[in-house]
Structure 1
Amino acid sequence: MPSTTTATALGDARIITAAELEFRPVADPAARTTVATPVSPAAGSTHVTLHVVRIAGGESFVPDDSAAEENTVVVFAGSGTAAVGDLSRHVERGRAAYAPTGRTLTLTADDAGMTAYIWRTPLAGVTPGSDPVLHSSLWDDTTQLRGFGGTGQIEAAEARATMNFVFWPGTGSSRLCLHCGIQQPGETFNVHLHPDSDEAFIAFEGIGQMYLRDHWVDVAAGDVLYAAPGVLHGARNPHTGPAARRFVTCGGPSPYDPALYSAAGYSSQVR
């Protein structure tokens, strides 16, 4: 089922715009559902695969070997159900699901269809969580990182964004994570790097900028950032004034980076 983008190979850093995503039919010739895979080991990543799937109304999508890998999913548009094993929940824009290794992820669209972003990684010998949270939302602010100053390579901005930890070790996620960065007008999630993790995140809402390697790039909802281990990245909302709106990103490093939880004052031990 792998797909490519119209862009060249990712190498170790790339922003893939929504317009560059190349969608292809799933393996079932009778299905109308299509999928693009802008990030994957075949395209240069080390640990993570990112699918963008457009599920036609009334159809279902199950990632290949779904039960053999961890999966997180965010609904980008439309609505339907997300089943993790035999536990199913209604989902709509901004809702999220986590499928631990051993539990199949099944997404089924309502009549109007559904678009979802799915992050995947092998468990790779990591102990699964004992009672993981399986359904959540990008707007769950139970656990947050505030005032993050980056990792020191780039001077930190003073107006600092807030990050929601949606799926993380504290909710039982073993290797994948899902974080939601909320950049209000003028705010920055400061530039940082992950020494041992791939980063794949998306612009979920609004317009803003993503930092990649050595400069800021304008992005809009649906665009994807990939950064290999050690590559600087960040997000900011440079827009201010009465018409400015929040800029929301989501995704996370794979495997998760304990330094983010330490910066927020939390343990990275899997629950």
Structure 2
Amino acid sequence: MPASSAAPAVTALGDARIITAAEFAFHPVPGGRTTVATPVSPAAGATHVTLHVVRIAAGESYTPEHSVSEENTVVVFAGAGTAAVGEHARPVERGSAAYAPTGHVLTLSADGPGMTAYVWRTPLAGAPVGSDPVLHSSLWDDTTQLRGFDGTGQVEAAERRATMNFVFWPGTGSSRLCLHCGIQQPGETFNVHIHPDSDEAFIAFEGVGQMYLRDRWIDVGAGDVLYAAPGVLHGARNPHTGPAARRFVTCGGPSPYDPALYSAAGHSSQVR
């Protein structure tokens, strides 16, 4: 595999880039102390997806613009509060996840010291609607997983292969936007692959590791974001080993979802 490189603040390779958490540009939401950064969006070159990083002040709430007319997924990165999908509200903390189908407004409310959340947005664009979608979950939900993923062959596959949890996907009623959680234990890799028709936007949720973009491995830490346009090679790995090594966790997913991932896991991509 190509040698890794230490990530500068922004690593840009044409239609692929990594934006570190230190470079997020936060702007205030009118009427309060909540702030939002948008590292991935059509304005920044994405085709299908927008990714917000939201710092919600204690006692305040946040709803993505146009939430009712699109799909939203959210992962709580820090703090605690409540995630409401329409009338279905649930307490959330670090690692909690929520899915808001079209027609259901996502509202995030912060308790205590506040809450930081990553919010993915995409329009439905005629996708089928799930009959009874799962609205609340966790990155650690291992009900449905992809194990032993070979990648797509453009880069030599690693032998020690990471596990991916399917948190929101067609099997849970997600129409277009998915959420997956990659758990790279020390020395493990989620092998390099592409999505021919999907944007990929995912984050480093926990630990330190590397993300692959087009032709190289790049060092990343918790909070950093990867964006890859359709057809751009990407992956994730934990190159660290030894007694002090810890797991490296990523989360996000292709938009629209890529049926090839579910096929690799032996599952149908039909929206239930």
TM-score range, shorter chain: over 0.9
TM-score using structure 2 length: 0.95
For residues 128 and 34 of structure 1, the distance between their equivalents in structure 2, rounded to whole angstroms, comes to 32
Give the aligned CA root-mean-square deviation in angstroms.
1.2
Alignment match, 2:250: 249
Is the CA contact 1:10–1:44 (under 8 Å) kept in the aligned structure 2? no
Q: What's the secondary structure of 1:116's corresponding residue?
A: strand
1:20 and 2:23 equivalent? yes
Alignment match, 1:265: 266
Deviation of the 1:111 alpha carbon: 2.2
Alignment match, 1:3: none
For residues 7 and 162 of structure 1, the distance between their equivalents in structure 2, rounded to whole angstroms, comes to 28
Deviation of the 1:127 alpha carbon: 1.4
Q: How does 1:84-163 map to 2 (within 5 A)?
A: 84-163=85-164
For residues 129 and 7 of structure 1, the distance between their equivalents in structure 2, rounded to whole angstroms, comes to 37
1:47 and 2:48 equivalent? yes
For residues 81 and 231 of structure 1, the distance between their equivalents in structure 2, rounded to whole angstroms, comes to 36
Is the CA contact 1:190–1:234 (under 8 Å) kept in the aligned structure 2? yes
Partner AA of 1:49 in structure 2:
T
Deviation of the 1:75 alpha carbon: 0.1
For residues 203 and 194 of structure 1, the distance between their equivalents in structure 2, rounded to whole angstroms, comes to 19
Q: What's the secondary structure of 2:245's corresponding residue?
A: coil
Deviation of the 1:187 alpha carbon: 0.1
Runs of 4+ in 1 over 4 A off after TM superposition: 6-11
Partner AA of 2:57 in structure 1:
A
Q: What's the secondary structure of 1:260's corresponding residue?
A: helix
Q: What's the secondary structure of 2:260's corresponding residue?
A: helix
Alignment match, 2:232: 231
Deviation of the 1:7 alpha carbon: 5.5
Structure 2 gaps of 5+ residues are: 1-8
For residues 267 and 197 of structure 1, the distance between their equivalents in structure 2, rounded to whole angstroms, comes to 18
| % identity of equivalent residues | 85
Partner AA of 1:67 in structure 2:
V
Alignment match, 2:3: none
For residues 111 and 149 of structure 1, the distance between their equivalents in structure 2, rounded to whole angstroms, comes to 43
Partner AA of 2:162 in structure 1:
A
Partner AA of 1:14 in structure 2:
R
For residues 11 and 127 of structure 1, the distance between their equivalents in structure 2, rounded to whole angstroms, comes to 32
Alignment match, 1:207: 208
Is the CA contact 2:10–2:18 (under 8 Å) kept in the aligned structure 1? no
Q: What's the secondary structure of 1:248's corresponding residue?
A: strand
TM-score using structure 1 length: 0.96
Q: What's the secondary structure of 1:19's corresponding residue?
A: helix
Is the CA contact 1:10–1:43 (under 8 Å) kept in the aligned structure 2? no
Is the CA contact 2:11–2:19 (under 8 Å) kept in the aligned structure 1? no
**Cα distance change, pair 8–22 in 1 and its aligned pair in 2 (3 A):** farther
Aligned length: 264
Is the CA contact 1:9–1:44 (under 8 Å) kept in the aligned structure 2? no
